[in-house]
């Protein structure tokens, strides 16, 4: 299908099981509460769609676009290219991300929603790459799985905006 990404790291079946477990845990933790789920585009859209279908609590959805990468390298600076469309004041916010590596973007977003007076701000990621963490203080509330320090594509993750549609998580060995 694509060059440079033949090695499957996480299968479709493993992804489905991961999402089911996360949905159950989040639903238990937010029982009796309304949850605002905010997806970080573009990478989180597939994971978020799967995740919200597993939630059993009332959910309001929105998306934002934050950019801190160019190719395979972080710029170290977070830019909000598209913000959410409503207030989160007094709401329980769950930020959904595809992968956390440096933690720069998620640290920025957690502070942003706290400053907007959210009742609580939690982070849910499909994948965590702690070996790359630059923001050591970032707490990840819900993590699907830890992955090695490899550049990965598929299940929403991309290389220069391609390969998001690969149904598994694969290692990209190009460049």
Residue spans of the domains in the chain: they are 13-148
Q: What is the 3-state secondary structure (H, E, C) of the chain?
A: CCCCCCEEEECHHHHHHHHHHHHHHHHHHCCCCCEEEEEEECCCHHHHHHHHHHCCCCEEEEEEEEEEEECCEEEEEEEEEECCCCCCCCCEEEEEEEEECCCHHHHHHHHHHHHCCCCEEEEEEEEECHHHCCCCCCCCCEEEEECCCCCEEECCECECCECCCCCCEEECCCC
pLDDT score of 72 more than 60: no
pLDDT at 138: 81
List CB contacts of 14: < 8 A, sequence separation 6 or more.
none
Query: What integer pLDDT is reported at residue 24 of this predicted model?
Result: 98
Residue 5: its pLDDT value, please?
Answer: 87
Which of 17-21, 31-35, 73-77, 112-116 comes out lowest in average pLDDT?
73-77
Residue for token pair 């934050």:
66
The one catalytic residue among 62, 85, 98, 101: 101
Instruction: Please determine, for residue 34, whether its predicted confidence score (pLDDT) is greater than 60.
Output: yes
- Per-residue pLDDT, averaged over 15-44, amounts to 97
- Banded model confidence at residue 47, pLDDT cuts 50, 70, 90: very high
pLDDT higher than threshold 90 for residue 52: yes
Tokens, residue 61:
């959805």
The torsion angles phi and psi of 148, rounded to 5 degrees, stand at -70, 170
Cis peptide before 42 (omega within 30 of 0): yes
Q: What is the pLDDT confidence band of residue 135, given thresholds at 50, 70 and 90?
A: confident
Question: Catalytic annotation on 29?
Answer: no
Q: Which residue has the higher pLDDT, 73 or 82?
A: 82
- 13-148 CATH fold: Rossmann fold (3.40.50)
pLDDT of 140 higher than 60: yes
């Amino acid at each position: 299908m694509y060059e440079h990404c033949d090695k499957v790291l996480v299968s479709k079946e493993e992804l489905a099981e991961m999402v089911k477990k996360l949905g159950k845990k989040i639903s238990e933790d937010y029982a009796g509460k309304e949850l605002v789920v905010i997806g970080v585009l573009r990478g989180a859209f597939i994971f978020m769609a799967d995740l919200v279908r597993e939630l059993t609590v009332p959910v309001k959805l929105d998306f934002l676009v934050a950019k801190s990468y160019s190719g395979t390298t972080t710029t170290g600076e977070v830019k909000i290219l598209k913000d959410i469309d409503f207030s989160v004041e007094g709401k329980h916010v769950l930020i959904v991300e595809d992968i956390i590596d440096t933690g720069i973007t998620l640290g920025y977003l957690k502070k942003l929603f706290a400053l907007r007076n959210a009742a609580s701000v939690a982070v849910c990621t499909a994948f965590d790459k702690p070996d790359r963490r630059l923001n050591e203080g970032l707490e990840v509330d819900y993590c699907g799985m830890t992955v090695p320090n490899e550049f990965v594509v598929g299940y929403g993750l991309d290389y220069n905006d391609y390969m998001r549609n690969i149904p598994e998580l694969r290692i990209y060995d190009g460049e």
